Amino acid sequence: MAVFLELLVNGISVGAVYALIALGFVVIFKATEVVNFTHASLLLAGGYVIARLHPLIGFWAALAAGIAAAALVGALVEFLILRRAHVGSRGVLAIVTIGVDILLTTELTRQIGTEVLALGDPWGDRVLRLGPVTVAETRVVALAVAAALIVAFLLAFKFTGWGVAMRATAEDAETAALMGVRLGRVSLSAWAVAGALAAVAAMFLCVFPTPGLDRGTTAAAMKAFPAAILGGLDSTTGALAGGLIVGVTETLMSGYQSELAFLGRGIGDAAPFLVMIVILLLRPSGLFGTKEPARV
């Protein structure tokens, strides 16, 4: 039982980080209906700025700079490329973001080179003991931050002008534009916000239990895909739920891999995708996603 609890708590803690990454996907999808593959390189960009600046200006200032930088990169990608792309469908825009991701990732990994960059966070390798269970402090903070951000987004979507514009665009972009919503601005701000979220996620992704930022960091962004989709691509609550489900599934499957050896060892990586398929079969728009009414 203690093992199960330990794995569960660890799963939730790593799920919090996935939720933060997934939240970035969701914000962009909500505003523009584009699946954003550039998110991986936004993570890398944010993390890189934090890693390079923290010895000079301290961790918190570096974090702020990283958030600003990643937000800027996100906004630039939207403004310079996606806005001007001549394509017919959202699917093609998704492929465009793959191209952008390749460009950014190549340059950033070249800059990072062969180093493993520490982020200089204040939590270090401290752990919190809850009875028999231990969990890294960084992860507790990550969970709190993810929850706080998601509440903030829910409130913002409900009560701010920006949130209303965003929801209106998600509902029906054309009508929203006719009602005076500036689609360009909505989409630009969504990308900037996603960039900022990516930097926050990158920070939690590269601190203890993992050794730091390196060229392999982007791989974790892949795990946020099932997280985002099984929660529902346009639901912020879904991002949190999805992140936690993916984290818990992965951790339990890895932790019990000796007992589950008949499934093949190393099932932890494939398991979140299996869960995703099952959930999508039951609910094609994810757990919290909006159902599209059209049926043909």
Partner 1 sequence: MGKIGTRAGVAALALLSLAVATSAAGCASGKATGGGGGAGAAAGGDGVKTGPGVTATTITVSALTDLTGPYASFGKSQTQAQQLYFDQVNAGGGVCGRRYELVVRDHGYDTQKAVAAYTEVAPKSAAIAQFIGSPMITALKQRIDGDKLLTIPMAWATTLLGSRAIQVTGTTYDVDMINAVEFLTKEKGIKSGDRIGHLYFEGDYGESSLNGSKYAAGKLGLQIVEQKIKATDQDMSAQVAAFKAAGVKAVLVSVGPRQTASLVGVSLAKGMDVPFVGSNSAYAPQLLATPAGPALLKDFYYVSAGTPVSAKNPAMQRLVADYQAKYPGETLDSGVPTGWSAAMIVDEAMRKACEAKDLTREGVLNAHRSQSTFGGDLGTPMNFTFFDKPASRSSYVLKPDKAALGGAVVFREAEVSELAKDYPVPVG
Partner 2 sequence: MSEPTPTAATPTRDTPRPLRAALCIAVLAGAVAVPFYLEGFWLQAGLFAMSAAIGAIGINLLTGATGQLSLGHAFFLAVGAYSYVFLSSDLGLPTPLAAVAAVIVAGMSGGLFSPIAGRLKGAYLGIATLALIFVGQHILFNAEPVTGGFNGRPVPPMELFGFVFADTPELVVLNVPFGSLERLWFLGIALLAGAAVFARGVLRGRPGLAMNTIRDHEIAAGVMGVPVARYRAGVFVLSSMYGGLAGVLVALVFQQVVPDYFGMLLSLDYLAMIVIGGLGSVAGAVVGAAFVSLLPQLLTRYSDALPLVAEPGSGGVSPAETARILYGAAVVAVVLFLPGGLAGLATRLGRVRLKELRWAKSAPAPASRR
Residue number, 71 or 224, with CB nearest to partner 2: 224
Residue number, 107 or 172, with CB nearest to partner 1: 107
Q: Check residue 264 and give left, alpha or beta (phi > 0: left; psi -120 to 50: alpha).
A: left
**3-state DSSP helix/strand/coil % of the chain, to nearest 5:** 75, 5, 25
Task: List Cα–Cα distances, 12 to 42, 193, 236, 249, 251, in angstroms.
Answer: 24, 24, 17, 9, 9
**How many angstroms separate the CA atoms of 107 and 90, rounded?**
26
- Only one residue has tokens 């203890």, namely 208
Q: Are 46 and 198 in contact (CB under 8 A)?
A: yes
- Minimum CB separation from partner 2 for residue 78, in Å? 13
Residue 214: other Cβ atoms inside 10 A: 19
Residue number, 169 or 251, with CB nearest to partner 1: 251
> Cβ neighbours of residue 129 under 8 Å, at least 6 residues apart?
none
- Minimum CB separation from partner 1 for residue 169, in Å? 35
Q: What's the CA dihedral at 279, 285, 290, 295 to 10 degrees?
A: -130
For the chain, list the strands marked E by DSSP: 127-130, 133-136
182, 185, 265, 291: which one binds partner 2 (CB under 8 A): 265
Residue 233 binds partner 2 (CB under 8 A): yes
Residue 286 binds partner 2 (CB under 8 A): yes
Residue number, 192 or 224, with CB nearest to partner 1: 224
Residue 291 binds partner 2 (CB under 8 A): no
Residue 80 binds partner 1 (CB under 8 A): no
Tell me the residue type at 266.
Answer: G
Residue 174 binds partner 2 (CB under 8 A): no
Residue number, 38 or 251, with CB nearest to partner 1: 251
Residue number, 44 or 252, with CB nearest to partner 1: 252
Residue 2 binds partner 1 (CB under 8 A): yes
Binding mask 70-109 for partner 2 (x = CB under 8 A): -----------x--xxxxxxxxx-xxx-xxxxxx--xx--
**How many angstroms separate the CA atoms of 175 and 169, rounded?**
8
Contacting range for partner 2; rule: CB under 8 A; set: 123-131, 174-182, 235-243, 265-273? 265-273
**How many angstroms separate the CA atoms of 66 and 71, rounded?**
8
Residue 163 binds partner 1 (CB under 8 A): no
Binding residues for partner 2, total number by CB under 8 A: 50
Residue number, 208 or 288, with CB nearest to partner 1: 208
212 burial via Cβ count (<10 Å: 0-12, 13-18, 19+): middle
- Shortest CA distance to 69 belongs to which of 186, 185, 202? 202
216, 263, 277, 278: which one binds partner 1 (CB under 8 A): 216
Tell me the residue type at 243.
Answer: G
Binding residues (CB under 8 A) for partner 1: these are 2-3, 6-7, 10-11, 13-14, 109, 113-118, 124-127, 134, 136, 205, 207-212, 214-217, 219-220, 222, 250-252, 254-258, 265-266, 268-269
Binding footprint of partner 2 on the chain (CB under 8 A): 29, 33, 35, 37, 81, 84-92, 94-96, 98-103, 106-107, 110, 222, 225-226, 228-229, 233, 264-267, 269-270, 273-274, 276-277, 280-281, 284-286, 292, 294, 296
